[in-house]
Amino acid sequence: MNVLREVAPREEVLTKVIRELGFPWELPPRETPLALEDAAGFPLGETLVASQDHPPFSRSLRDGFAVRCEETAGASPGTPAFLRLAGEVPMGGPASESLRPGEVLSIHTGGMLPPGADGVLMLEDATVTAGWVEARKALQRGENVVFQGEEYRRGDSLLTAGSRLDERHVGIFAALGKGVVPGVDLSATVLSTGDEVVPLETDPVPQGCVRDVNGWFLTGFLRRRGFRVRHGGILRDDPEALATGFQRAFEESDLILLSGGSSVSVRDHCEEILSQIPAPGLMVRGVNIQPGKPTHLAGSLVPRRLVVGFPGHPLACATVAYTVLLPLLGAWMGSPETWTCRKERVTLLRDLVARAGVEEFVPGRWTPQGVVPLPSASGYVAALREADGFLRLPQERETARSGEEVEFWWIPR
């Protein structure tokens, strides 16, 4: 078993796991396709190939007149070109009549460009008098029009299998006349651990105990991303109970998430269990991020399984979900850009004190002027309620001052 040192940098961890598990994996198809209105959030089961050109015909982007651009050469307010108005292109119908030399056709935004035309003269650049159009502007070919197939051609690949769909993609399916979407059939089990963790319905909560937060966070997190999720409940701090619960999850699910309790014994028992699964087995004992260091990563090739052991504190658990689990899911699906957090440089609006030697992620609230850091303890439950993402401070940076640029990771919605 080749396990990384006790705490390893996040990028090194991701590279190791992706390599040893041979991501991307083949995606099992969903038996029943998804209705288009339900597809947002789910991974795409097969590559989407265009069945037609788009636009399906050359069309106008403005109200005005379909013209032969060469016939407007040299036109200006002082020396206009005069062209005969020969009719109008009907909206919602074909422009079957070709544009003849010296003529224009009235056209509306979205109207079909008639054969022979290669541009549209806008209304504000023209005057109509007694059946003649005075063109006061010279046009270049393609001005104010979009040509057939300009966005994509029939046979082009538009979305790759494994892409996580959202509202930006649904319209593409609609344009192609596809009311159903091929999905992916992936299963997951979420297990919470620790004697101090009690079910959410517990009332009153015994002293020294906390309700299960992470189990429900992770369940919702995966359901929004197209997994069939079973919340496997809370496992006691007992080697036999942990092993039995984990074995069932390992047999049933492609992805197993363990939310660790606070005690060292729970982590020790979980580490022992992960060490015994088929190769490559336990690969990572800790990730050098704050919060989220006590993260375990394991997996097997036969059967194909990914296992993530999360820290017990809620903010630490959420941080690992967005910064470690999401990149792994993107690599698994073969479409990392549609799964991971969008990153950008932003202005920091308050000083942020960090410590060197660890990669830190701090919740932040976006404003038009910049991002306000929301420093929180790793055990906070509601730390992300006002956050739009995470401020990332690399391990070599100790402090960021107000007005400086920092990296911001948007939480995917």
- With a cut of 80, say whether residue 4 has pLDDT above it: no
Please state at what angle helix 264-275 crosses helix 239-252, rounded to 10 degrees: 50
Distance of CA 143 to the CA centre of its chain: 34
Rounded to whole angstroms, the Cα distance separating 58 from 61 reads 10
The pLDDT tens digits of the residues spanning 306-327 come to: 999 999 999 999 999 999 999 9
Find the helix or strand (DSSP H, E) in which 344 lies: strand 343-347
Q: Which two tokens stand for residue 300?
A: 């097997």
Q: What pLDDT, on a 0 to 100 scale, did the predictor assign at position 267? A: 67
Average pLDDT on 23-45 reads: 96
pLDDT at 264: 63
Judge whether 408 and 371 are in contact, CB under 8 Å: yes
Contact 95, 115 (CB under 8 A): yes
The pLDDT tens digits of the residues spanning 119-131 come to: 999 999 999 999 9
The CA distance from 259 to 197, in Å, is: 10
Pick from 311, 293, 34: nearest CA to 197: 311
Confidence at residue 1, expressed as pLDDT on a 0 to 100 scale: 57
What's the number of CA atoms in the CB half-sphere (13 Å) around residue 160? Answer: 12
pLDDT band at 270 (very low <50, low <70, confident <90, very high): confident
In our burial notation (b when 16+ CB lie closer than 10 A, e otherwise), range 277-316 reads beebbbbbbbbbbbbbbbbbbbbbeeeebbbbbbbbbbbb
pTM, two decimals, is: 0.89
* Confidence band for 268, pLDDT divided at 50, 70 and 90: confident
pLDDT of residue 85: 97
Sign of CA dihedral 220, 223, 229, 230: positive
pLDDT of 371 over the 60 cut: yes
Position 265 confidence tier, pLDDT thresholds 50, 70, 90:
low
